[in-house]
């Protein structure tokens, strides 16, 4: 297959997959491993699919250095489903959970959790979301069931870097949907780490949940079986039919990451890509404006306005039109915040990022000249 005609896809998710993965999928679509059927036609109870499933789990454990006292689950419902599954599974005898709200997704998580547990926010969130307040001012409770945070806010471009928040002696719960395997991850103090696969690890439909073993078995009685960590572990993620095609896609992406040198190599490339775009923003004399505190700028989702802090709709529309003419798509910011958003997930190459950088420089030069 020729790759001619493919766009440079800066979508926030579902997002670009590596071309090598897509070509492998095409090659095996009609006949996986000589079995005469596609993976998406195979029984999830078959021996062959079991091998694929266990290999995928092993690859995650290897690439992320997941400690032995954690289970790796394949679930459905997306990250949003985990907004409910987490309090349903972790409440135990606790009355409340602590939440760190730094953007749209952690806000939605806290709102959903309130249906199943009392939610306390460790600080009062303030809009617009542009930073993470100093941890010294947070109000923690060591009786909380857990402390929840979103490692990377896709909408606002805010990322916890370089480390996770302090746990204050309760399990940390991390939503890593949009920076899953974008950098090495430290499991210290974490109870649950979860994310949808559709940004960095594959196709929409698969949710990966990594759970510390001592937290399993505390689910509320009303917990649906498909959201029960205990039930899913007992059945090796096969309680019901899993997203077989999604697991297969993630398996190929994980092999691609490994072939690229693993997470440290991926991280170094992601720093290069994001640094290239942020550098243009910072050197533009305000023509491009990123409101996010530099300490917490996301290396995955670079959000900015054109023409000043509040943006200029006409300039942004012109920029997006020119981007499409140059083969780039999905650069429009989230509908709730506007502006421009360049999602530089693992599959986006440095060369593709350079195409965006070249257009940004060209566009700024045109308008600064005028």
* pLDDT at site 370: 54
Name the E strands within 300-360.
Answer: 301-306, 328-329, 340-343
Q: Verify whether residue 199 is a known catalytic residue.
A: yes
Instruction: Provide the whole-model pTM.
Output: 0.97
Q: Verify whether residue 365 is a known catalytic residue.
A: no
* pLDDT at site 17: 98
Q: Kindly indicate the confidence band of residue 251, based on its pLDDT and cuts at 50, 70 and 90.
A: very high
For residue range 111-164, list pLDDT tens digits in order: 999 999 999 999 999 999 999 999 999 999 999 999 999 999 999 999 998 789
- The enclosing H or E element of 74 equals strand 70-75
For residue range 284-301, list pLDDT tens digits in order: 999 999 999 999 999 999
Q: Verify whether residue 218 is a known catalytic residue.
A: no
Q: Which long-range contacts (CB under 8 A, 24 or more apart) does 223-232 make?
A: 223/85, 223/88, 223/89, 224/88, 226/75, 226/76, 226/77, 227/75, 227/77, 227/81, 227/84, 227/85, 227/88, 227/89, 228/88, 228/89, 229/71, 229/73, 229/85, 229/89, 230/89, 232/73, 232/74, 232/75
Catalytic position from the list 16, 91, 175, 255:
175
For residue range 49-81, list pLDDT tens digits in order: 999 999 999 999 999 999 999 999 999 999 999
Catalytic position from the list 16, 91, 98, 199:
199
Q: What is the mean pLDDT of residues 337-364?
A: 98
Catalytic position from the list 91, 105, 256, 332:
105
Domains and CATH numbers, the chain: 22-259 (3.40.640.10), 262-368 (3.90.1150.10)
For residue range 214-239, list pLDDT tens digits in order: 999 999 999 999 999 999 999 999 99
Q: Kindly indicate the confidence band of residue 187, based on its pLDDT and cuts at 50, 70 and 90.
A: very high
Q: Kindly indicate the confidence band of residue 1, based on its pLDDT and cuts at 50, 70 and 90.
A: very low
Q: How far is residue 295's CA from residue 78's CA, in Å, rounded to a whole number? A: 29
């Amino acid at each position: 297959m020729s790759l001619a005609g493919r766009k440079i896809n800066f979508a926030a998710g579902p997002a670009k997959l590596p071309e090598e993965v897509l070509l492998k999928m095409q090659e095996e679509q009609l006949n996986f491993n000589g079995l005469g059927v596609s993976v998406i036609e195979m029984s999830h109870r078959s021996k062959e699919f079991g091998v694929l499933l266990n290999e995928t789990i092993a690859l995650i454990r290897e690439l992320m250095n997941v400690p032995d006292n954690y289970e790796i689950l394949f679930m459905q419902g997306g990250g949003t489903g985990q907004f409910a599954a987490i309090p349903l599974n972790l409440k135990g005898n606790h009355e409340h959970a602590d939440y760190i709200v730094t953007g749209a997704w952690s806000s939605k998580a806290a709102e959903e959790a309130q249906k199943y547990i009392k939610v306390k926010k460790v600080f009062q969130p303030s809009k617009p979301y542009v930073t993470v307040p100093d941890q010294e001012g947070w109000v923690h409770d060591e009786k909380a069931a857990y402390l929840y945070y979103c490692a990377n806010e896709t909408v606002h471009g805010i990322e916890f870097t370089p480390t996770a928040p302090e746990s204050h002696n309760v399990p940390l719960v991390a939503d890593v949907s949009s920076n899953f395997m974008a950098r090495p991850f430290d499991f210290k103090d974490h109870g649950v780490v979860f994310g949808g696969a559709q940004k960095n690890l594959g196709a929409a439909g698969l949710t990966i949940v990594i759970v510390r073993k001592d937290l399993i078995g505390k689910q509320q009685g009303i917990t649906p079986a498909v959201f029960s960590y205990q039930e899913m572990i007992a059945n090796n993620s096969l309680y019901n039919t899993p997203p077989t095609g999604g697991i297969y896609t993630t398996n190929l992406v994980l092999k691609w990451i490994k072939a690229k040198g693993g997470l440290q190599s991926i991280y170094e490339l992601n720093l290069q890509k994001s640094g290239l775009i942020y550098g243009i923003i910072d050197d533009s004399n305000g023509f491009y404006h990123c409101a996010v505190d530099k300490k917490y700028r996301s290396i995955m989702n670079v959000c900015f306005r054109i023409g000043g802090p509040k943006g200029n709709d006409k300039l942004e529309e012109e920029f997006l039109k020119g981007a499409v003419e140059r083969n780039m798509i999905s650069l429009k910011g989230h509908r709730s915040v506007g502006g421009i958003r360049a999602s530089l997930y693992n599959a986006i190459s440095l060369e593709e990022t350079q195409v965006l950088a070249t257009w940004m420089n060209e566009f700024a030069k045109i308008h600064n000249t005028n």
